[in-house]
Amino acid sequence: MNMTLLEERWRGVLDNMAEAVKRAGRREGSVRLVAVSKFHPASDIAELCRLGQKDFGENYIQEARAKQEELAGLDIRWHAIGPVQTNKARDVAGHFSLLHTLDRVDLARALVRRLPEGASQDVLIQVNVGEEPQKSGVLPAALPPLFDALLSGGLISTEGPGIRVRGLMCLPPRCGEGEEARPYFVMLRRLRDDMEKRFGLSLPELSMGMSGDYREAVAEGATLIRVGTDIFGPRPVKGQTL
Ligand SMILES: *Cc1c(COP(=O)(O)O)cnc(C)c1O
């Protein structure tokens, strides 16, 4: 039986991921692959879902919601991994398995307001580890005050209904590939450890690593890697800028 190119690439990434997990001496199954399907058709998602891939990441809320509707019968965990405008909170709250990009108090407030009574929304805090002006995410130095504001304002918790913070996410500078991103992955892990200690929280998830550097991210403790190109191939032109 012939594998499609899509299946072949996907299996290749899973193999590389498993190998990196082993090499790092980490537990099998401790890292989840989020297949980043932005700009790729719903039919590709359906094909991978049938093969057992359950986590899919999308950057644009409108595109994600349209795909959710189209694939409503499938057992998929949707991840929102792009910046979210506050006025889109309604389309996020309660509609994604995990939002990776919470980075400010006003977005948290909007999510709380839009979340149905008794529902919960898991989130990660995005950190702008490279301090790049064009990127979203909270600056490393502003992370403790953000946690403080979110916790003292009753906007997030780690359990119960409401906005539940599960960890941190980063999108390091694309100064190169692989090894060049590693110091940023280390930084994110340390920031996570620091926030756990300071605020007495459990923050198990680290979302870091993309096509060019997911092996290094796994070595540094990623629990979620976000891989697009290595699975789906190059994106159509408009998708090549992040
Ligand atoms: C597009 C995107 C990815 C996937 O990038 P690839 O290099 O195609 O693997 C991962 N994370 C975020 C936030 C993205 O926007």
> Per-residue pLDDT tens for 124-181?
999 999 999 999 999 999 999 999 999 999 999 888 789 999 999 999 998 667 889 9
Cβ distance 185 to 172 under 8 Å? yes
Predicted structure pTM score: 0.95
- By the 10 Å C-beta count (0-12 exposed, 13-18 middle, 19+ buried), 95 is classed as middle
**Helix spans in the chain (H):** 5-23, 42-51, 61-70, 89-92, 105-114, 143-152, 182-199, 214-219, 229-232
Q: Cα dist. 160→9, 98, 101, 110, 203 in Å?
A: 38, 15, 20, 18, 15
Q: Which two tokens stand for residue 21?
A: 């997990």
Integer Cα distance of 65 and 113 in angstroms: 19
Q: What percent of the chain has pLDDT over 70?
A: 96
Quick check: 237 pLDDT over 70? no
Residue with tokens 């191939």: 233
Residue 162: which of 150, 171, 175, 173 has the closest Cα?
150
**Region 88-108 average pLDDT:** 97
- The CATH code for residues 3-20+29-231 is 3.20.20.10
Q: Whose CA is closest to atom 10 on ligand 1?
A: 226
- Distance from residue 163's CA to the centre of ligand 1 (Å): 24
For residue 210, the model assigns a pLDDT of 97
Integer Cα distance of 9 and 176 in angstroms: 22
Q: What residues does ligand 1 touch, defined as CB less than 6 Å away?
A: 36, 38, 59, 81-82, 171, 210-211, 226-230, 242
The H-or-E segment that residue 36 falls in is strand 32-36
- Distance from residue 198's CA to the centre of ligand 1 (Å): 31
Atom number of ligand 1 nearest to Cα 232 = 8
Domain boundaries, the chain: 3-20+29-231
Residue with tokens 């702008």: 128
Cβ distance 121 to 161 under 8 Å? no
Residue 33: which of 222, 231, 224, 229 has the closest Cα?
224
